[in-house]
Each structure stands twice: as C-alpha cells, then as structure tokens.
C-alpha cells in the first residue's frame, strides 16, 4: 500500500471518529467557544468590607471600582445590610478595612486570603496591608503647627492606641515637637468606639488650662469633628489652632471657613486602587510590590505604604476640588450601580411572580374545568321561583351610496321570563350524567377489546 493511500485511509478513519463522537476539529484544537464562555463565568469575585465610619469610604471604593471595571472583575461589598447567609460565597479574596469582624473568622475558615486596608485587624495575619504613611503624616501635622506655634501647651487627640497606625502617628508628632522644648504635650487617647472619651478629656483639660493651650492635633476626622465642636462651644476656635490627620470633604470645608488651619491628604482613591492591584496579585499568586513591612502580634506583614502630603492654605483649593470632583463622580457611579441592581432585582422578581401567577392560573383553570358545570347551574336551597332578564341592544346604521353613515338608530329590547327551578336542577345533573355515561361506555369498550 502506497504512502498516499495509507494517509487517505487514516484521514477517513479520523473523520468517522469525529462524526461518531460529535467532536469537531475546533474541539481538538482547543477553540471551543463553550470553554471561553465558561472561563468568563468563573471570573474572580473580590469581597470588600470597609469601615462605615470612614469619611473617605466612597473614595476608596471608587479607586477599587475604576480598576475592576477595566478588567471586568466583580466587586462584592459586605456591610451591615448584607442579608446573604454567606457574603463570602465565591470570593477569591477579602479586602478588609472594618465592619463585622466575624467575616474575618469566616474568611480564615474558608481559606480565603485577607488583604488589610489602612489598619491591621486584631488577631489576624493578612497577606499584606495597604496603609498611608502614618509616621510621615504625624510629622507633617506637627510641622504645620510649629509654623504658627512654638511654645505653650499642645493637646494630641490620639485614636485607638492599640492600633499600629495610631502609634506611628504619635511617634511622628513627637519626632518634630521634641525639637521645641517650650512646647508641652498632653495626649488624650480614645479606644475604638469611644471618641466621646476624648471629647470629655479635652473639655476638662481646656477648663483647667483656659489660656495655655495653643494647638490641637486630631489624628482622624472623627476626633477633629469633636475638637472643632468643643472649640466653638468654648469660643476658643479663633485662639487655638486645630490640625487634622485625615483630610475629607468636611475637614477641607472647615479649613476654607478658617476653623481649621491644616490637614493631611492620605490619598484614599490611591488606597483603593493599590488595594485592588494587590488583591489581583494575591489571587494570581504573583509577587507583591512591597516597599515596607509592619510588625504585628502575628509577625511581619508585607506593606504598601501610600505617600501623604500636608494640606495648607496654599494648596487647599486644588485638593478640595480634587476631593469634591472624585466624590461627586463616586456618588454618581454608586447611584447608577444601585439603580441597575434594583432594576435587575425587579425584573427577576417580576419573572418569578409571573411564573407563580401562571401556575395559579393553570391550577384555577383545572379546578374550574371540574367545577364549572356545578357552579353554572347550581340552585340555592329554598328557591321557589327563578326569573331571567335578557336585554338586547340593536344599532342600525343608514348609509348613502358612498358608504357614509348618514343616520343611526338604536333599539333596546328587554324580556323577563320565569324559569322553573326543576329545569335548572335537571340542567345541572345532565353534565354529570353525561360524564358517567362516557365512563361506562369506555369501560364496556375496554371489556369488548379484552374478549
């Protein structure tokens, strides 16, 4: 057998095999479209739990969303309103800044990696952390203050002292203020969820030192709000300089009004964008671009430290515009997303309701089929006489040779007749008798066939 003939025999055998098995040449070459669509359906889901009290929460999510849209990745936000039994279902990673801490335990039990954002969660070792340069922020806060005050008493409103970021902020403050021996520092710390403690402590200290306090450094926006309100109530807002450590739209507005002289831009949008990038690298098991590390009770945590900058009167207008524009866009995107989700839910519910209505209609039709004969001609007990009223309306149109109506006449004829109740009872029994007769006939036919 020649080589050419052998090739033809092999080719025919392959074609027959493909035909029998239902496979195509594209299947053998790995170009099946179904595989592509299946791959698209298995796109990773990134779960995100943000701190509800963070004034820049929406800016952080904007940074995450903008990159996720480009790569067609689904971002699933977990908050107090999440009603799912398992909010981490199908998630490949959890970006955690705050919220329900039980989600951390669930993430660990499901072996879902955790990426911390802005602060380390207690008792958990995440794969990494995205955090603003807290020590540098503390230094910039103090430098802004000593540009106006070089002596007297200074109050530092510290956040939760157990958080590493809070400790670094305080260290940055003291690194600069220690160079000014005429400045006395009084620190008031507030454990998590107890900002009112800082407020009470500040009021007490100001009452005891009404003329000596020259400045206040508030480590976060929540503490800055407390300090601003206290200064206004005590009419010391023009005398004591207030510096914040977490710029936000409300704090920038206070600066514009003159009730606060400085703040720190922590770049919340970049925090979100970098968190998304690291989350993708962790999912794909790619190396992280680490520029620092943070020591925790669980060991060293790889860190991506975001650069910060001071907000003063010289750059306030530019930064305020940036924050406001980004926030407006984020709010618009959020509204559109919520409307789309709401519309999708409504359509889903409508289809579900339509399916239920169809089932009900079908059940009702079947029920009516069995009961229609009884209901139509049923006679209530105690009836002695039955009357029927038949109304007939006739409309007569007069047309000319061209078919146009040139006159109309209407007549109404109404008749009332008496129907014996016995007749109605007979009519009601006839369908039953007919059904019974059909059943008996079917049985007789079946017996004849058997014989």
Nearest to 127 by CA among 303, 347, 384: 303
Per-residue pLDDT, averaged over 153-175, amounts to 92
DSSP class per residue in 319-353: HHHHHHHHHHHHHHHHHHHHHHHHHHHHHHHHHHH
pLDDT over 80 at 115, yes or no: yes
Strands 405-419 and 152-158: unpaired
CA–CA separation, 235 vs 228, rounded Å?
10
Per residue in 403-444, pLDDT (tens digit) is 777 777 777 777 777 767 666 666 655 555 555 555 555 555
pLDDT over 60 at 445, yes or no: no
% of the chain surpassing 70 pLDDT = 74
Q: What is the pLDDT of residue 189?
A: 92
Q: What is the pLDDT of residue 20?
A: 42
Per residue in 207-238, pLDDT (tens digit) is 999 889 999 999 999 999 999 999 999 999 99
pLDDT over 50 at 26, yes or no: no
Q: What is the pLDDT of residue 218?
A: 97
CA–CA separation, 301 vs 114, rounded Å?
12
Per residue in 314-334, pLDDT (tens digit) is 999 999 999 999 999 999 988
Per residue in 331-354, pLDDT (tens digit) is 998 888 778 777 776 776 677 666
Per-residue pLDDT, averaged over 178-201, amounts to 89
Is 0.85 surpassed by the pTM of this model? no
Per residue in 48-89, pLDDT (tens digit) is 999 999 999 999 999 999 999 988 899 999 986 665 667 898
Q: Which neighbouring-strand residues pair with 232?
A: none
The runs of H, that is alpha helices, within 209-315 are 221-233, 249-257, 268-283
Categorize the per-residue pLDDT at 387 as very low, low, confident or very high, splitting at 50, 70 and 90: confident
- Kindly report the average pLDDT of the chain as a whole number: 81
3 state SS of 90: coil
């Amino acid at each position: 057998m020649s080589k050419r003939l052998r090739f033809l025999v092999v080719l025919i055998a392959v074609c027959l095999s493909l035909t029998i098995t239902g496979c195509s040449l594209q299947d053998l070459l790995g170009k099946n479209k179904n595989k592509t669509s299946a791959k698209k359906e298995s796109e990773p889901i990134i779960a995100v739990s943000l701190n509800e009290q963070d004034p820049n929460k929406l800016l952080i999510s904007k940074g995450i969303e903008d990159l996720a849209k480009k790569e067609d990745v689904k971002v699933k936000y977990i908050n107090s309103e999440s009603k799912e039994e398992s909010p981490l279902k199908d998630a490949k990673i959890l970006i955690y800044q705050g919220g329900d801490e039980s989600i951390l335990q669930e993430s660990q039990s499901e072996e879902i990696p955790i990426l911390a954002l802005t602060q380390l969660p207690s008792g958990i070792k995440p794969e990494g952390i995205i955090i603003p340069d807290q020590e540098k922020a503390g230094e910039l806060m103090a430098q802004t203050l000593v540009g106006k005050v070089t002596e007297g008493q200074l109050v530092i409103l510290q956040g939760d002292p157990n958080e590493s970021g809070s400790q670094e902020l305080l260290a940055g403050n003291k690194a600069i203020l220690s160079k000014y021996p005429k400045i006395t520092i009084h620190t008031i710390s507030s454990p998590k969820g107890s900002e009112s403690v800082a407020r009470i402590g500040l009021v007490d200290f100001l009452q005891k030192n009404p003329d000596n306090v020259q400045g206040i450094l508030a480590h976060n926006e929540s503490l800055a709000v407390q300090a601003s309100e206290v200064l206004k109530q005590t009419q010391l807002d023009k005398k004591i300089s207030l510096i914040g450590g977490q710029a936000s739209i409300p704090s920038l507005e206070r600066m514009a009004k003159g009730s606060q002289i400085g703040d720190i831009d922590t770049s919340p949008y970049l925090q979100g964008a970098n968190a998304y990038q690291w989350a993708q690298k962790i999912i794909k098991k790619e190396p992280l671009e680490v520029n620092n590390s943070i020591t925790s009770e669980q060991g060293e945590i790889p860190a991506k430290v975001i650069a910060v900058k001071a907000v003063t009167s010289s750059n306030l207008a530019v930064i305020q515009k940036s924050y406001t524009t980004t926030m407006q866009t984020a709010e618009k995107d959020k509204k559109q997303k919520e409307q789309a989700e709401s519309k999708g839910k409504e359509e889903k519910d409508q289809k579900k309701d339509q399916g239920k209505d169809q089932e009900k209609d079908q059940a009702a039709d079947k029920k009516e089929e069995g009961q229609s004969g009884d209901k139509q001609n049923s006679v209530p007990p105690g009836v002695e006489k039955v009357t029927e009223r038949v109304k007939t309306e006739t409309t007569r149109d007069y047309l000319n040779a061209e078919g146009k109506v040139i006159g109309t006449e209407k007549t109404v004829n109404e008749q009332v007749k008496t129907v014996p109740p016995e007749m109605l009872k007979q009519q009601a029994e006839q369908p039953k008798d007919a059904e019974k007769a059909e059943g008996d006939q079917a049985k007789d036919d079946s017996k004849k066939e058997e014989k």
